[in-house]
């Protein structure tokens, strides 16, 4: 059909109002399963230290002769270890003009950006805390680095690669050393995961969480004995909320939740006892107004923190997994 002559159409109209929803949709994930399940404590210096102790292996020959003199057994001192506090921060500014404009979905641009950058920093911290990063004391031209999860776990680990074992020297000379990745990677096996669970349990831990990246979550879900479970469970008497679905894996040494983590390295599977992991804050999340130098307002959000490995032998890892 033909449009009648002189019909006024929408494309000719100058004053039609825009149809813009008063909402902003964000898909970027913000779940931080490692940070969320770590205990929280306070640091009072840039180098936060603690002590660990282990009992000697049990013996089956501790039988004394009746009436015999007692002889001293050597006392084993505690081990003093530590980690450096790292600073994570974002600074941003919003012009006076933008603050005066009425914007769709945002009542106050500065307040909105505080939320956005806060979410970004939490994601950054989750990634940093779970990586294979060595600790570093920093200096005049370099930042302090907190040694991360992969670097701390040195007692109970295995490689899924076929070209040799990754090396890790653990805690030496006052710093946490980073493990060396194996160039050969392999598909995660239930046998290796079970071996690490057994090793951590034998050492005295009670791990109950398998944390793994997205690709290897699909592989771990294929372990025998996995049962689908939904979001909530009780762990060590405290409420543990897992966002979305998880798998419950029943091992010889207890029930495990298989938790996916978008921000850890997919090439590593963790067996975790969260009783022995904590985050110490020298400065908790803070926001500061920065100096005003013109027609804009500036803010900084900041946190200074470190990862505490109360005893890494309570946990373990399977390294060098394929990721695709």
pLDDT along the chain (324 residues), means of 10: 78 76 67 93 95 89 93 92 96 92 86 91 95 93 95 93 70 84 91 95 95 94 69 45 60 91 96 96 93 93 95 95 94
Residue 231 CA to residue 245 CA, distance in Å, equals 5
Measured in whole angstroms, the distance separating CA 167 from the mean position of its chain's CA atoms is 22
Sign of CA dihedral 153, 241, 280, 264: positive
Q: How many CB atoms lie within 10 A of CB 144?
A: 18
- Give the torsion through C-alpha atoms of 293, 296, 299, 300, to 10 deg: -70
Q: What is the pLDDT of residue 244?
A: 40
Q: What is the pLDDT of residue 321?
A: 95
Residues 6+ apart with CB under 8 A from 102: none
Any alpha helices (H) in 172-277, and if so which ranges? 190-203, 214-220
Q: What is the pLDDT of residue 134?
A: 93
Q: Cα dist. 120→75, 116, 284 in Å?
A: 48, 6, 16
Q: What is the pLDDT of residue 37?
A: 93
Question: Within the chain, how many helices (H) and strands (E) appear?
Answer: 6, 17
Q: What is the pLDDT of residue 27?
A: 64
The CA-based angle 138-284-90, given to 5 degrees, is: 65
The three-state secondary structure class of 275 is: helix
Q: What is the pLDDT of residue 24?
A: 63
Sign of CA dihedral 254, 226, 314, 242: negative
- Mode of pairing for the β-strands spanning 277-289 and 39-42: parallel
Q: What is the pLDDT of residue 205?
A: 95
Residue 162 CA to residue 157 CA, distance in Å, equals 15
pTM of the model: 0.85
Q: How many CB atoms lie within 10 A of CB 247?
A: 20
């Amino acid at each position: 059909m033909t449009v009648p002559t002189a019909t006024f159409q929408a494309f000719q109209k100058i004053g039609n109002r825009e149809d813009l929803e008063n909402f902003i949709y964000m898909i970027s994930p913000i779940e931080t399963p490692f940070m969320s399940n770590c205990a929280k404590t306070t640091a009072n210096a840039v180098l936060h230290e603690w002590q660990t102790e282990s009992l000697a292996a049990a013996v089956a020959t501790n039988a004394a002769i009746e009436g015999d003199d007692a002889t001293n057994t050597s006392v084993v001192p505690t081990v003093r270890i530590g980690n450096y506090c790292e600073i994570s921060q974002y600074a941003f500014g919003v012009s006076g003009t933008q603050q005066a404009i009425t914007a769709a979905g945002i009542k106050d641009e500065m307040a909105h950006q505080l939320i956005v950058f806060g979410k970004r920093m939490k994601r950054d911290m989750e990634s940093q805390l779970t990586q294979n990063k060595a600790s570093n004391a920093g200096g005049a031209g370099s930042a302090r680095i907190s040694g991360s999860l992969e670097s701390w776990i040195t007692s109970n680990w295995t490689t899924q690669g076929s070209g040799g074992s990754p090396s890790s020297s653990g805690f030496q000379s006052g710093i946490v050393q980073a493990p060396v990745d194996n160039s050969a990677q392999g598909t995660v096996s239930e046998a290796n995961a079970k071996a690490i669970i057994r090793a951590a349990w034998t050492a005295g831990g009670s791990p109950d969480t398998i944390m793994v990246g997205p690709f290897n979550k699909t592989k771990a879900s294929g372990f025998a004995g996995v049962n689908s479970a939904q979001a909530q469970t009780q762990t060590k008497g405290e409420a543990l909320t897992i966002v979305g679905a998880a798998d419950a894996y029943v091992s010889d040494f207890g029930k495990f939740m298989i938790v996916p983590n978008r921000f850890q390295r997919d090439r590593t599977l963790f067996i975790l006892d969260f009783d022995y992991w904590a985050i110490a804050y020298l400065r908790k999340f803070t926001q500061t107004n920065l100096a005003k130098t013109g027609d804009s307002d500036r803010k900084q959000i900041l946190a200074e923190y470190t990862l505490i490995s109360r005893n890494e032998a309570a946990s373990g890892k399977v390294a060098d997994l394929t990721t695709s």
